[in-house]
Structure formats: structure tokens, C-alpha cells
Amino acid sequence: DQQVKQNSPSLSVQEGRISILNCDYTNSMFDYFLWYKKYPAEGPTFLISISSIKDKNEDGRFTVFLNKSAKHLSLHIVPSQPGDSAVYFCAATSDRGSTLGRLYFGRGTQLTVWP
């Protein structure tokens, strides 16, 4: 049973425009959310995170929005660049009160940014 869902397997955006990647979750115990980026033949790398006590976190061109009532988060990339082309994974954890940090991942969204 997929607790973290990324329903769009792919997204294609023109360079300079905004990319919006969406993620839904079903487990109301999740209280910390992360986005990872993955290039082919490499492992995922951490991109940005957000705690459930916030509704927005920004880091340069990347902003993550969290809507707890809808159990939905989104990653905005503005402006999109060709180097952003990668698979983006949404991940969540309910281990905030412990030290484990076990992550549950979505299936990923392939972002393609074209010139």
C-alpha cells in the first residue's frame, strides 16, 4: 500500500518556466517531508525538506509547500533549468519523535526541462 503517492510519472517544462511537482500522502502520522533528486546511474540526493509545523520552505529556486488538511505537498522550481531534468522523489517520515528517520518514498516524477 503506497503511503506516499506521486501520481504524475512525468512532467515536461520549458526552460525558464515554473515546474510544479505534486505529492500526496495517506498517513496522517507523517510529520516531516523531503524531496530527493536523482540523476541516471546515481543515487538520490537530498534537495529540500519541510516540517509539518510549517506550510512553506524555500531554498533558492526551490520551494516546497505543505497542505496538511489535504495531505498534499508540492515542489516548485522557478525558473526551471535544463540541469533540473531528473527524477524527483517525495519522501515522508513519522519518526520525528525517534531517531530512526525511516523514509517512505513515492514512485518519483521524471522532470524534463527543454530549452
Partner 1 sequence: NAGVTQTPKFRILKIGQSMTLQCAQDMNHNYMYWYRQDPGMGLKLIYYSVGAGITDKGEVPNGYNVSRSTTEDFPLRLELAAPSQTSVYFCASGVGGTDTQYFGPGTRLTVL
The strand ranges marked E within the chain are 4-5, 10-14, 19-25, 32-38, 45-51, 56-59, 62-67, 72-77, 86-93, 104-105, 109-114
Q: Which is nearer to partner 1, 49 or 112 (CB)?
A: 49
Contacting partner 1 (CB under 8 A), which of 85, 88, 106, 111?
Answer: 106
Q: Site for partner 1 (CB under 8 A): how many residues?
A: 30
* Residue 25 within binding range of partner 1, rule CB under 8 A: no
Options 19, 63, 85, 93; binder of partner 1; rule CB under 8 A: 93
How many C-beta neighbours within 10 Å does residue 25 have? 22
Figure out which of the listed residues 51, 58, 78, 81 binds partner 1, where binding follows CB under 8 A: 51
Non-local (6+) Cβ contacts of 99 within 8 A are none
Is residue 114 a contact residue for partner 1 (CB under 8 A)?
Answer: no
* Minimum distance of partner 1 from residue 60's CB (angstroms): 16
